[in-house]
Amino acid sequence: MKRDKNWQKFEDFIAEELKEIAPYATHTKGSRYGELKNIPGVMGFENGDFFHTSGIQLDLDTLPTPDYTDLSLDTYYQIASVYRSRGCTNRCKFCAEWRLFGKRFRVRSVGKVINDIKSIISDHHPRYIIFGESLINDDLEYFESLCDAMIKEDFNIQFGTHFRANITLELAKKAKQAGFNDAWIGVEALNDADLKEMNKGTTINQNITTITNFAKAGVNVIAMLVVGFSNIDEEEKNCNNIERTINYYSKFKISNNESNEQPLSIQWRPAPMFLVPGSQNYQEKRKSTTRPWNSTVISEGNELYLQGLEMELSDIPYEFDRPIPDEAVGKLMKRIQKADREAGFMIGGIAQHVINYMMEDRRNKRNMRKHERIGVIAQRFESKKSIIP
């Protein structure tokens, strides 16, 4: 693909595998990389054409702590992020996230992660911290050591992150004690045939066990689901299993800190399957299920331009067909959402944090406006007093 002439004046690039060094290298005077095309892990332009360079993978312990100095956390509900890994140990067919950081899965040491959390809390005072990575329990011994270190520090802040479905009840309780108030579990399906086809490496039993263990430990669970990956028979079977499972969990209660019974805190979040570039699913189905972009709005004034644009984009997949019609995907998702809504689960975790923050922010703004009005009234009263003989 040729670079459009309107872009010639820009020196832009895309950092791929190595986000930690590519932006730094381009803006550092006298960088050992020299020209843009010599920087590892970037895509860019040279003489009007695209180029790509292979990335390198740094030891994560050599990286500094994330700095939020120039980023107002008020914009993000006082939520900050910390990262203890890059990549993913799994190779789910529908996902290409592991490709973003290179093939090798890398982990930051427990000590470095603890220091990151300390610095972020001390310098930026967030109320909630997300471990923003693909999964945190790739190594259960490491995760337990991390929980032990967090318990020892007693950070007094809530954490949330993504989990693979392999957590015992004991480890779920320890995670809760460490401050993990949210477990976002990649359940994807409650159908073993679906899970096998997705290359998840998990089973219905593992999914149910992990959800149960976190719920018993008092951790808010978000069960993430993929709809539209398989044929209609398997999708119907999966949806039926999910509905029955939601109904099962709706019958249980858990005691809160005041020893009062309340519903379990579980949210079921279905999402439509997408054909993600770079995924195994994409490689297998690109030729058979994708179509290039096609304009649906053509007028006399833009017809020639759009024809040229369609021709230029003709070799780029833009739309794709799922194994089942989009209408069927929508109906299955609505069934799951309806079952989740009617189950009466408690809203907790980060969702409750955001709700509480928004309500507090509104109260503060309302009080501020009230004080401003009182101040204006007082000023008017004082000015009237001064002119009364």
Cα(371)–Cα(388) distance, rounded to whole angstroms?
A: 26
Q: Which residues contact 229 (CB under 8 A, 6 or more apart)?
A: 94, 188, 189, 194, 197, 198, 235, 273, 322, 323
Same domain, 171 and 284: no
Stretch 340-366: mean pLDDT? 89
Stretch 267-292: mean pLDDT? 93
Question: What's the pLDDT score for residue 9?
Answer: 43
Reduced to 3 states (helix: H, G, I; strand: E, B; else coil), residue 378 is helix
User: For residue 126, which of 86, 161, 96, 81 has the smallest C-alpha distance?
Assistant: 81
**CATH at 167:** 3.80.30.20
Question: What's the pLDDT score for residue 347?
Answer: 87
Question: What's the pLDDT score for residue 55?
Answer: 73
Number of domains into which the chain is organized: 4
**Higher model confidence: residue 227 or residue 74?**
227
**Higher model confidence: residue 357 or residue 117?**
117
Stretch 203-218: mean pLDDT? 96
Q: Is the pLDDT of residue 78 over 70?
A: yes
The pairing of beta strand 261-263 with beta strand 253-255: antiparallel
Question: What's the pLDDT score for residue 1?
Answer: 38
Same domain, 210 and 74: yes
Question: What's the pLDDT score for residue 280?
Answer: 94
pLDDT band at 56 (very low <50, low <70, confident <90, very high): confident
**Higher model confidence: residue 326 or residue 25?**
326
**Higher model confidence: residue 353 or residue 158?**
158
| pLDDT tens profile 227-274 | 999 999 999 999 999 999 999 999 999 887 778 899 999 999 999 999
In degrees and rounded to multiples of 5, residue 178 shows phi and psi of -75, -15
**Higher model confidence: residue 245 or residue 302?**
245
Same domain, 210 and 234: yes
Question: What's the pLDDT score for residue 123?
Answer: 95
The boundaries of the domain holding residue 339 are 60-277+323-351
- The burial of 222, by beta-carbon neighbours within 10 Å (0-12 exposed, 13-18 middle, 19 or more buried), is given as buried
Same domain, 377 and 239: no
Angle at 260 between CA 258 and CA 264, to 5 degrees: 110
Q: What percent of the chain lies above the pLDDT cut of 90?
A: 58
Average the pLDDT over each of 38-47, 68-77, 335-344 and give the range with the smallest value.
38-47
**Helix 169-178 × helix 204-216 angle, to 10°:** 40
Same domain, 242 and 389: no
Helices first, then strands: H and E counts in the chain:
11, 15
Same domain, 180 and 309: no
Q: Is the pLDDT of residue 23 over 80?
A: no
Same domain, 129 and 260: yes
**Higher model confidence: residue 53 or residue 213?**
213
Task: Decide which of 52, 70, 89 is a domain's last residue.
Answer: 52
Same domain, 110 and 181: yes
Stretch 265-294: mean pLDDT? 93
Average the pLDDT over each of 183-187, 230-234, 314-318 and give the range with the smallest value.
314-318
Stretch 126-151: mean pLDDT? 96
Same domain, 232 and 301: no
Same domain, 387 and 308: no
| pLDDT tens profile 5-21 | 444 444 555 665 555 55
CA 174 to chain centroid, in Å, comes to: 23
Q: Is the pLDDT of residue 101 over 50?
A: yes
Mean pLDDT (the chain) is 86
Q: Which residues contact 349 (CB under 8 A, 6 or more apart)?
A: 158, 160, 181, 182, 219, 220, 222, 265
Same domain, 227 and 369: no
Average the pLDDT over each of 17-21, 123-127, 336-340, 343-347 and give the range with the smallest value.
17-21
**Higher model confidence: residue 357 or residue 84?**
84
Same domain, 344 and 231: yes
Dihedral sign, CA of 141, 146, 152, 154?
negative
Question: What's the pLDDT score for residue 99?
Answer: 83
Q: What percent of the chain lies above the pLDDT cut of 70?
A: 86
Residue type, 27: H
- 6-15 long-range contacts (CB < 8 A, ≥24 apart) are 7/45, 8/48, 11/36, 12/44, 12/45, 13/39, 13/42, 13/43, 13/44, 13/45, 14/42, 14/43, 14/44, 15/41, 15/42
